[in-house]
Amino acid sequence: MHIGNLDFPVPVFLAPMAGVTDTAYRILAREMGCSLVYSEMVSDKGINYRNSHTLEMLHTERRERPLAMQLFGAEPESVARAAAYVENLGCADIIDFNMGCPAPKVVKNGEGSALMLDPDRAFRVLQALRAAVSLPVTVKMRKGWDETRVNVIELAKLAEQAGMDAIAVHGRTREQFYSGRADWKIIARVKQAVHIPVIANGDIRTCKDLADIFRETHCDAVMIGRAAQGNPWIFRRFREFLMTGSEAGEPTIEERASVILRHLDMLLACKGDYIGPREMRKHATWYTKGLPHGAELREQFNRAEKRADFVEILRRMQDTAIEALS
């Protein structure tokens, strides 16, 4: 599968997720075999006003490349200017544009999935973005705003006309947020309607799901979102399945503990001793979801304030697992 001049023999990507896909998690995903990682969405206005927090989000490392930097906005000139700044920084290999975020604070400004309600404006934004950079440019969108306004096929055709190199489609409407089942049939219809690569997103959790969505939609690649939270091993599993047809087993307790600590150490290095542990709390609860005494672990992680707290919780977790086997 190709996006511009980039080749992805194993077309399994990490979806952009706010508060999740920062540098630390992107590195872990790449190490587990993820072919392409996406940044958290970054505000065009934050870039153009040189907001310090926003500019920090543009920092990337060689270990996480290739990487798609996802921008959001609603004004053609502003989006184009921000994209040109990102390209000049040399921090990304692809510029992606967000037309799928359902968050109220985003859509109230006409951004994210709200742009699907205004196809003319969306087209002008994508045209301006394409003209501003030489990097490959992609766009992520949803099925539509709600079931009465399902217009992803129209928007996909406009995206192709605007010069996008690929389109990612989340098979839910904005009004669904993340509830219900993703509509893979609409993704298949998008694939039939355009000639550029289509990336399928939504409800891809198992190797069976992976095989089914490729068969049902004829998509060129898949994008893994919530199923990757606390589960970077999904990329190793999917990569092995696509390359050999076999399914890798679940990570051991020891491997989970080791990756949690490594993730924490990267957060500490990137975000400091105060923010790092607090951001790690949610990740740790995802990493240990479904394990025995999960509710107790979740409570303990949510009180952790320093590295030593995580080390002690993980030590007790491993001791409990050993006792259960003896």
Q: What predicted TM-score, i.e. pTM, was given to this entire model?
A: 0.95
Q: CA 16, CA 40: separation in Å to the nearest integer?
A: 5
Is 101 among the residues known to form the active site?
yes
pLDDT of residue 324: 62
pLDDT, tens digit, 9 for 90 and up, residues 113-165: 999 999 999 999 999 999 999 999 999 999 999 999 999 999 999 999 999 99
Q: Of how many residues is the chain composed?
A: 326
pLDDT of residue 248: 84
Q: CA 72, CA 70: separation in Å to the nearest integer?
A: 7
Reported in sequence order, the residue ranges of 92-217 that DSSP labels E, i.e. its strands, are 94-99, 137-144, 166-173, 198-201
Comparing CA positions, the residue from 192, 130, 118 lying closest to residue 161 is 130
* Start-end of H helices in 32-75: 44-48, 52-57
In sequence order, the 6+-apart residues with CB closer than 8 A to the CB of 229 are 17, 20, 283, 286
Q: What is the DSSP annotation of 286-317? A: HHTTTSTTHHHHHHHHTT--SHHHHHHHHHHH
- Selected catalytic residue, list 34, 91, 101, 270: 101
pLDDT < 70: residue spans in the chain: 322-326
* CA geometry: angle 63, 69, 75, nearest 5 deg: 165
**7-26 as b/e, with b when 16 or more CB fall inside 10 Å?**
ebebbbbbbbbeebbbbbbb
pLDDT, tens digit, 9 for 90 and up, residues 254-281: 999 999 999 999 999 999 999 999 999 9
* Start-end of H helices in 6-133: 23-31, 44-48, 52-57, 76-89, 104-107, 119-132
Tell me the sheet residues that pair with 271.
Answer: none
Instruction: Give, as one character, the DSSP assignment of residue 250.
Output: P
Q: CA 314, CA 256: separation in Å to the nearest integer?
A: 9
Q: Sign of dihedral through CA atoms 76, 82, 88, 93?
A: negative
User: Which domains, ranges and CATH numbers included, belong to the chain?
Assistant: 2-244 (3.20.20.70), 253-325 (1.10.1200)
